Structure 1
Amino acid sequence: MRESNNRWVLWTLIVITLLLLIGIGYSIYLYQVINDSRTAGFDDTKNQIETQTSYHDVHSIQGYYGENSYHVFYASNEDNEERLIFLPLEGEERELIVINTEDMMSEEAILDAWSSSCDTCTFADISPAYEDGEALWEITYHDKDNQFVMDYYSIDGESLEERYTYNKMFR
């Protein structure tokens, strides 16, 4: 009787271990698939920009998906001047939208200004955005009422252009 009891415990542990290993393997696979789809086209964009334009040292590529979709990145030109560049992902003529980084407020400065105006907020993310023909800073956070908020500041940091607030659906 004791031997069959031990066998049952052993098989239970083996099955649980196998299920955990399968779950961990599937989680890793799913993460890689999601991350690959999130960064799809970044390498192609980098190669295209570096070979077909005067910009080199393309770095910090990310996607912006607003009314129109863009690949957003920083790159240096032939004079080693840093630029913020938006590459439209749709349309026949995909002209680069180039912003001189000297004409914009730095990410750190805009965050400092934002945090001093909203000391009870919980910061989520900041990224460059492009809407209605204007480059913007998109700051996302949770406010004191735990609402999700998206603020759009002008790229020079002088004004708040738009704010979207989303209430929690479930409490």
Structure 2
Amino acid sequence: MMAEEEAKTDGTQPPQAPQMRVLGQFIRDMSFENIMAQKGAPADATPDVQVQVNLDAKKRTTENQYESTIKLAVTSKVKDNDATLFVLEIEYSGIFHIENVPEDQLHPFLLIECPRMIFPFLRRIVSDVTRDGGFPPLNLENIDFLSLYRNEIARRQASETPKMDA
């Protein structure tokens, strides 16, 4: 007898595979400041680009719908004198329909898998905005959302651990 048939005869259902659909994507908030144009920084400056990433997720009012947001803060400065060339801040969100994900796995799913799905679209927007802002297109490196999630969990646990006096 096959596993499916066995499950039917004893009254239990086999576990169903997780399902995820992207229902929509959008820019929640964006700001781009071309400081080089405002202050007249040299056009041949060598940039040093810093990228900060934050993630957020929340349940929506519709059943099985969630919103996951990637927040980027990109700062480009001149390597030699630390003068700012541009600042880009963007919050990019995806709306997801998610089913069959166990409750204890939903949090990492929303902060790892969902951002992984929408990141290529965010990368394209960042490239277009920096190019349209008068700079070479900024092609973001891939972000390891699993590592980012683990680091944040470790940071939170370390900050919650009571400190012992020596």
Normalized against structure 2, the TM-score is what? 0.24
Q: More relative contact order in 1 or in 2 (CA 8 Å, sep 6+)?
A: 2
